[in-house]
Amino acid sequence: MLKRIFGGKKISPPESTSIGMDAALSGLKRRGYVPVVVYDIGAADGGWSRQAMKYWPNAGFVCFEPLVERKVALEQLKKDFPGKVNFQACGVGDTDGALSFGVTEFLWDSSFAYSGASARSVPIHKLDTLIKQGVIPSPSFIKIDVQGYEKRVLDGGELAMKSADLILMECAFFKFCKDMRTLDVTIAYMAERNFIPYEFADYLRRPLDGAMGQCDILFIKKDHPLVSNPQWG
């Protein structure tokens, strides 16, 4: 198909043909992208932030995580990177206050979007409330891993979206829970806010039948310099 599109011309392979988070982050660095402030929403144990810090060691990271079980790991992250990590022990959404949080057995897929093995009330804030209050700086880069609650996060973060260059978030091919938006709906939502798909950073097939279940997509502001050149080679 590509040969037909490009008139039979030889297509040289890019520097990296792999798909994965390291490929996505290293590619951004190689192209000269360096964020000032990174939001890690749904930070869990801080693993993604540690990964991103390899490529952006001078950036500031704001980690949002409501599970008390993750506090020790995130406090250790702060110690390991002095002055670089702002830990907010709360969830993020389209309201300020407290909300029931579904906690799953292994914690990783806990979410406001559905019930888990148990539920607990945790603090939740809009990004824009925290920005207006001066609790957190405005972001350059936003990563969202909230298991179906992505739209609620973005609905409460209009100022954050205006500030951000790129937004990395999990998108679903199926509506696995009531709040979850499918990929087509998410792309349309982001387009209305001047973001376009830039890269597939990762993917996950569902165990039911091996069909594509979820993917991590990097969205970019449509007028960002990284997408200003439409040439192939």
Which is more confidently placed, 109 or 92? 92
Which of 66-75, 130-139, 192-201 shows the lowest mean pLDDT across its residues? 66-75
Q: Tell me the residue type at 51.
A: Q
More confident residue, 76 or 19: 76
- pLDDT range class, residue 101, cuts 50, 70, 90: low
- Residues 68-78, buried b or exposed e (16+ Cβ, 10 A)? eebeebbeebb
Give the contacts of 111 (CB within 8 A, at least 6 positions apart). Answer: 101, 102, 146, 147, 148, 149, 177
14 pLDDT band, cuts 50/70/90, is low
The CA distance from 120 to 23, in Å, is 37
Q: Determine the pLDDT at residue 16.
A: 56
Average pLDDT, the chain: 88
**DSSP letter, residue 38:** E
pLDDT at residue number 122: 86
Mean pLDDT of 135-143: 99
Contact 24, 201 (CB under 8 A): yes
166-172 and 212-221: which strand pairing?
A: antiparallel
Using pLDDT thresholds of 50, 70 and 90, give the confidence band for residue 109.
low
The CATH class given to the 18-225 domain equals alpha beta
For residue 4, the model assigns a pLDDT of 47
pLDDT single digits (tens) 18-53:
889 999 999 999 999 999 999 999 999 999 999 999
* pLDDT at residue 110 tops 70: no
If one compares 34 and 4, the residue with the highest pLDDT of the two is: 34
Section 126-140 average pLDDT = 98
Q: What pLDDT was estimated at residue 180? A: 82
State residue 141's pLDDT score: 99
The CA-based dihedral angle spanning residues 116, 129, 46, 24, taken in that order and rounded to the nearest 10 degrees: 100
